[in-house]
Structure 1
Amino acid sequence: MFGKKKKVVGLDIGSSQTKVVELLPGKTKRLINYGISKILPDAIVEGEIIDREAVLDSIRTLFESRNITTKDVVIGLAGRDVIIKRIVMDRLSEAETREQIKWEAEQYVPFDINEVSLDFDVVNPNYGENQQEVVLVAAKNELINNLTALLKELNLNPIIIDTAAFALQNAFEYNYQPGPDETIALVNIGAGMTIINVIKGGSSLLARDVYYGVNSYINKLQKEIGFNYEDAANTVKGTIPVGASQDSIQGVFESFVNDLSTQIERSLQFLTTVTGEEKVSKMFITGGGALIANMVDYLKRRLNVSVEVFNPFKNILYDPSIFAPEGVEMIGPVLTQAVGLALRGD
């Protein structure tokens, strides 16, 4: 939302990994390079950078190990310091809307309005009599300034600051062609956070960040079965420790998916209450959590909706060997947000 389009690298700073995607600009996009680098546990907690040096080291290692020389980057914001809300206001010109949006935002943004950066997108200019519908975005200046300073310390230039929810939407709309009347739920199941963006007709109906993700599954395995962190993390990836009870692990998994489904359900119920939209047509899941065995089937059964793993490279050209040996099916979902950010450059 914040900034103009140009050639960039998409940089997704997550709570457990840093991801980068570099695309060849042009009408038909081609993947040039990508990289994934781990971040020390608890270096980022609920979107807040706790261990600055650990995050710097992860990004530095990523760019150096992948020989990425491009300095212009796009980053995505998420968490409690970011608000995305659909609002109705008087129909005005774009210039007048920009002037008025600050006063409108005061009604919806739970922060000091002088301490946030605002942007907006008119999604329905003819909402009602002399009214328009606008997607309002607000982000705390402190969050933006901290990330900008961190990147500049690495000689990186954050030319566009987007939101993680809109990055998902950007990646989806480039790779898929939903019908104008389809209501689609995009769900990125990350390590510490799940990002939900429900879209219809090219605009966001609801965007929410939920502090529940793969780390919650790992914690459940540690607490309820007694695994150490390494065994729990490996179990999530499909490698079960010798002698572990399959039934116990299955029980923890079902408990995790049930809790995650409840979080998603609450968002969808809120959508129905606020917008009157009926049940979503389809759900696309992505992020590391989308790769957990049986996740699609359990979500489909629990939420009673069609669920598919989001392929962010569906319409992007790439050499299959770039994803060897794991393959694009295993790497792609982890890179979805970074792809959506990289697509901002053209």
Structure 2
Amino acid sequence: MLSDYLSSIQLFGSRNSIGLDIGSSYLKALQLKETKGGYELVLFDMLKLPPELIVDGAIIDSLRLVESLKELIRKAEVKTKNAVIAVSGHSSVIIKRISLPEMSEEELSESIKFEAEQYVPFDIEDVNLDFQILGPKEEPGQMDVILVAVKKDIINEYVSVVKEAGLNPIIVDINSFALENVFEINYEIDPDKNVAIVNIGASTIDINILKGGISVFTRDSSIGSNLHTEAIQRRFNVTYENAERLKRGEPVENVSPEDAQSVIESASGDILEEVARSFEYFLSTTLHEDISKVILSGGCALIKDFPGLLAERTGIETWVMEPFKGIKIPKKIDVAYIEEMAPMAAVAMGLALRRLDDR
């Protein structure tokens, strides 16, 4: 996938690591081990975060976040110290598909700062850069490249809290690219079809369109299912926890899931439009292409009828991601819990695979 100099963190020590998804509403930890012919789940656990610890991808209260990370480590009984983390959905994270003169990966590694300056709206010395060469264009002598730029202070914030919690962050990745790994081990890859992986969390949308399993378009947006939660809270005057239950189709006090459904549909408008606009932009930049299916992950995938709303708005068949589809689940792990929360595990699994595959 991406080369490893995005984070400038040295890769060393054991290959035994956890994927640590630090979201604005939940922390998620997932660990895998390699088995003959596949992977087995070692652990998966989540911890609800207090509100406003992370806003628009920026860490607001690092002390409380460190305490929450320590609590998750204890709760999940994490034994390893190495962690793979990601940053996403922040204005300081830039992902662009660009066209460059054809060159080798080694040549681009040496010239990436110069090539990136015109595309990055920050001082080039203030960012970490990474890239992925997609392949040659039809235009002779040109190639398509995905450029990633993340402000160093954002990376340093996340690395610092993870270290304070007692872990060793060995790789910093991007949500969109972590999801590629999950797709690769769980779904059949058709070399001629575009598949859109759409991860919608509490405050971010990560979109990665793959052709033949290779990323051809990515986009991150700072919007998510908090819109549903806030709308339900306003309409029915319920707590955050009860609003979350209503989102999943559970009855609460004097409010039925049917009552909540109209609010959910109304609040979904901005999210659906953001995804649809991203698809339309991708299709406008390509010739004779379409999107064959959408695979939806994140908390929005658990909202009653949301996958159907997305399929209706985009006109594209929509599946809910099954990240554990190709993973062996040992008997000691609660399979019912895993199946219920599976779409929320996607990024953490992608990060865990990122280290196992050393990519």
- TM value normalised by structure 2: 0.90
Q: How does 1:33-72 map to 2 (within 5 A)?
A: 33-72=43-82
- Alignment partner of 2:246 out of 232, 235, 257: 235
Q: How does 1:1-346 map to 2 (within 5 A)?
A: 1=2, 3=4, 6-26=15-35, 27-79=37-89, 80-125=91-136, 127-244=138-255, 248-276=259-287, 278-319=289-330, 322-324=333-335, 326-346=336-356
Aligned mates of 1:205, 1:126 — CA distance in 2: 12
2:32 match: secondary structure: strand
Q: 1:230 offset after TM fit, Å?
A: 3.4
Aligned mates of 2:305, 2:20 — CA distance in 1: 29
Aligned mates of 1:292, 1:201 — CA distance in 2: 29
Amino acid at match of 2:115: E
CA distance change for structure 1 residues 126 and 272 in 2, over 3 Å: closer, same or farther?
closer
Q: 1:321 offset after TM fit, Å?
A: 5.2
The answer to whether the 8 A contact 1:271-1:277 is kept is no
Q: 1:228 offset after TM fit, Å?
A: 3.6
1:285 match: secondary structure: strand
1:241 match: secondary structure: coil
Which residues of structure 1 form unaligned runs of 5+?
Answer: none
Aligned mates of 1:221, 1:340 — CA distance in 2: 31
2:327 match: secondary structure: coil
CA distance change for structure 1 residues 231 and 112 in 2, over 3 Å: closer, same or farther?
same
Aligned mates of 1:53, 1:280 — CA distance in 2: 43
Amino acid at match of 1:151: V
Aligned mates of 1:231, 1:148 — CA distance in 2: 33
CA distance change for structure 1 residues 35 and 247 in 2, over 3 Å: closer, same or farther?
closer
Aligned mates of 2:180, 2:117 — CA distance in 1: 26
Q: 1:70 offset after TM fit, Å?
A: 0.5
1:108 match: secondary structure: coil
The answer to whether the 8 A contact 2:66-2:161 is kept is yes
Amino acid at match of 1:47: G
CA distance change for structure 1 residues 279 and 44 in 2, over 3 Å: closer, same or farther?
same
1:32 match: secondary structure: strand
CA distance change for structure 1 residues 236 and 277 in 2, over 3 Å: closer, same or farther?
farther
Q: 1:334 offset after TM fit, Å?
A: 1.1
The answer to whether the 8 A contact 1:83-1:109 is kept is yes
Using the TM superposition, name which of 164-173 and 124-133 deviates more: 124-133
Aligned mates of 2:199, 2:159 — CA distance in 1: 24
Which residues of structure 2 form unaligned runs of 5+?
Answer: 5-10
Q: 1:245 offset after TM fit, Å?
A: 6.1
1:171 match: secondary structure: helix
The answer to whether the 8 A contact 1:182-1:200 is kept is yes
CA distance change for structure 1 residues 67 and 321 in 2, over 3 Å: closer, same or farther?
closer
Q: 1:257 offset after TM fit, Å?
A: 2.6
Using the TM superposition, name which of 248-257 and 330-339 deviates more: 248-257
Percent identity reads 38
For 2:8, the equivalent position in structure 1 comes to none
For 2:7, the equivalent position in structure 1 comes to none
Aligned mates of 1:19, 1:247 — CA distance in 2: 30
The answer to whether the 8 A contact 1:7-1:25 is kept is no
1:344 match: secondary structure: helix
CA distance change for structure 1 residues 82 and 127 in 2, over 3 Å: closer, same or farther?
farther
CA distance change for structure 1 residues 246 and 239 in 2, over 3 Å: closer, same or farther?
closer
Aligned mates of 1:67, 1:16 — CA distance in 2: 21
The answer to whether the 8 A contact 2:247-2:260 is kept is no
Report the count of equivalent residues: 345
Q: 1:275 offset after TM fit, Å?
A: 3.2
Aligned mates of 1:342, 1:45 — CA distance in 2: 24
